């Protein structure tokens, strides 16, 4: 995680193995990581809480912006514009021996309450 810049959200590929019936397939999720200090990282699900589109970080505006219906979130994931009903979803993280470990989860979009699916 040493290559994550402090204070600037960065998109990283989270590679995981998913079981699909009897098959195991690799899945890649582009999570957003925000390193706050040398030892503290917040990771956001890449799925907009409105209707599930992928959002981007706009470094100039210091906002996450969703292209689908214009929702905007501040670096803490708080909704600052558009129709998103709740903040960005955070994923559980652990730092072990300098490595960032992320537990991937998905949540229902379009709800004010965070509901895991
Ligand atoms: S899906 Fe992101 S604003 Fe609608």
- pLDDT tens digits for 59-107? 999 999 999 999 999 999 999 999 999 999 999 999 998 888 999 999 9
From the CB of 50, is ligand 1 less than 6 Å away? Answer: yes
Given the CA of residue 48, which atom of ligand 1 is nearest to it? 2
Q: 3-class DSSP state for residue 12?
A: strand
> Is residue 114 a contact partner of residue 107, using CB atoms and an 8 Å limit?
yes
Q: 3-class DSSP state for residue 10?
A: strand
In angstroms, the CA 53 to CA 100 distance is 25
In angstroms, the CA 56 to CA 33 distance is 12
Tell me what pLDDT residue 52 has.
96
Domain layout of the chain by residue ranges: 10-54+85-102
Q: 67: CA distance to ligand 1 center in Å?
A: 7
Whose Cα sits closest to atom 1 in ligand 1? Answer: 51
- pLDDT tens digits for 28-51? 999 999 999 988 999 999 999 999
pTM across the whole model = 0.91
């Amino acid at each position: 995680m040493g290559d994550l810049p402090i204070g600037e959200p960065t998109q990283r590929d989270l590679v995981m193995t998913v079981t699909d019936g009897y098959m195991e397939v690799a899945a890649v999720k582009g999570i957003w990581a925000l390193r706050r200090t040398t030892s503290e990282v917040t990771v956001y699900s890449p799925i907009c809480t409105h209707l599930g589109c992928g959002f981007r970080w706009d470094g100039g505006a210091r906002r996450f912006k969703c292209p689908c219906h214009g929702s905007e979130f501040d670096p803490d994931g708080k909704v600052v514009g558009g129709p998103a009903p709740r903040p960005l979803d955070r994923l559980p993280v652990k730092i072990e021996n300098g490595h960032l470990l992320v537990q991937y989860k998905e949540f229902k979009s379009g709800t004010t309450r965070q509901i895991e699916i």
